[in-house]
Amino acid sequence: MAKTTLAIVGAAGRMGQMLTRLAADMSDVEVVARVDVADGFDAAVPAGTQAVIDFSFHAAAPANAKRAAEIGAAYVLGTTGLSADEQAAVDAASATVPVVQSGNYSLGVNLLVELVKRAAQVLGKDYDVEVVEMHHKHKKDAPSGTAIMLARSAAEGRGVKLEDCVCHGREGIVGERPEGEIAIHALRGGSVVGDHTVMFAGDVERVELVHKAQSREAFAAGAIRAALWAVGRKPGRYAMRDVLAV
Ligand SMILES: NC(=O)c1ccc[n+]([C@@H]2O[C@H](COP(=O)([O-])OP(=O)(O)OC[C@H]3O[C@@H](n4cnc5c(N)ncnc54)[C@H](O)[C@@H]3O)[C@@H](O)[C@H]2O)c1
């Protein structure tokens, strides 16, 4: 069986190294390029590469997405913290190639996203939603892409737009909690791979849905699975829920 050829962007980073290690143990993929900040994408990625997996830096995503589209490679984006303009550039690439984007590629978190939606539907606005995330001290963006995914899922479950009700942390005399608010809090410290808790706090009980990533392998395995799934698909924007068919 022919191997699917992959380029890893952000190859020297925490995720890039994990992707490289994991791919080396897989019989159905071959890493043909490892690109980091000092390498030029053009020089490093051979024509015919079937998928580009990008876990680098938000500012790099537009150029990487454009290059993936130019060489006809599926683009699997794990990098988080994109601005609206950077996101628009990634969306533009999806007119030409399949683009999979997820704030979290682990199976467990993608299940959690569904569970949060269901909980929000059932519990309704009487249960205040607070999303708390913790990551290692080197993480550059906040809140995490996963926390945003989870908060968005709670909003979807309630039938509202996250942008209309989100609150990022609290400080000072903030007054009583407005009804319907969905709050996100980002903690940073040590070597935590990624913890997320979604709380539904009612007057008489509290429901907490928790995910703790123990290894970056959870994200890397999902991203390679997404790349294998995306190669040969028609151009468009895809999420991990498409890959997992959840
Ligand atoms: N979606 C997910 O499941 C998931 C999981 C973990 C991390 N992430 C995200 O992935 C990204 C990387 O995380 P990390 O912990 O590996 O970070 P990291 O800082 O360890 O690694 C990032 C790497 O990208 C490189 N880089 C920066 N600009 C580049 C460019 N223009 N071209 C090529 N390489 C470039 C850096 O030199 C570095 O080696 C972050 O945005 C993080 O939030 C997503």
The tens digit of pLDDT for each residue in 85-140 reads 999 999 999 999 999 999 999 999 999 999 999 999 999 999 999 999 999 999 99
Look up the pTM and report it.
0.91
| Rounded distance between C-alpha atoms, residue 158 and residue 165, angstroms | 11
Alpha-carbon torsion 68, 69, 70, 74, what sign? positive
| Rounded distance between C-alpha atoms, residue 210 and residue 207, angstroms | 10
* Cα 35 to ligand 1 centroid, rounded to whole Å: 11
| Rounded distance between C-alpha atoms, residue 66 and residue 80, angstroms | 17
Q: Is 92 helix (H, G, I), strand (E, B) or coil?
A: helix
Annotation says 139 is catalytic: yes
Give phi and psi for 104, each to the nearest 5.
-160, 125
> How large is the C-alpha radius of gyration of the chain?
19
How high is the pLDDT of residue 245? 87
Give phi and psi for 160, each to the nearest 5.
-125, 170
Q: What is the set of domains in the chain, with CATH numbers?
A: 4-105+216-244 (3.40.50.720), 107-212 (3.30.360.10)
37 CB under 6 A from ligand 1? yes
Exactly one of 117, 139, 196, 211 is catalytic; which is it?
139
Helix H segments across the chain? 14-24, 41-44, 61-70, 84-93, 107-123, 145-158, 217-230, 240-244
pLDDT tens-digit readout, 156-183? 999 999 999 999 999 999 999 999 999 9
Report residue 136 as tokens: 């290692």
Annotation says 66 is catalytic: no
56 CB under 6 A from ligand 1? yes
Q: Which protein residue's CA is at the shortest distance from atom 21 of ligand 1?
A: 13
Q: Which protein residue's CA is at the shortest distance from atom 35 of ligand 1?
A: 37
How high is the pLDDT of residue 4? 98
pLDDT tens-digit readout, 188-227? 999 999 999 999 999 999 999 999 999 999 999 999 999 9
Give phi and psi for 110, each to the nearest 5.
-70, -30
62 CB under 6 A from ligand 1? no
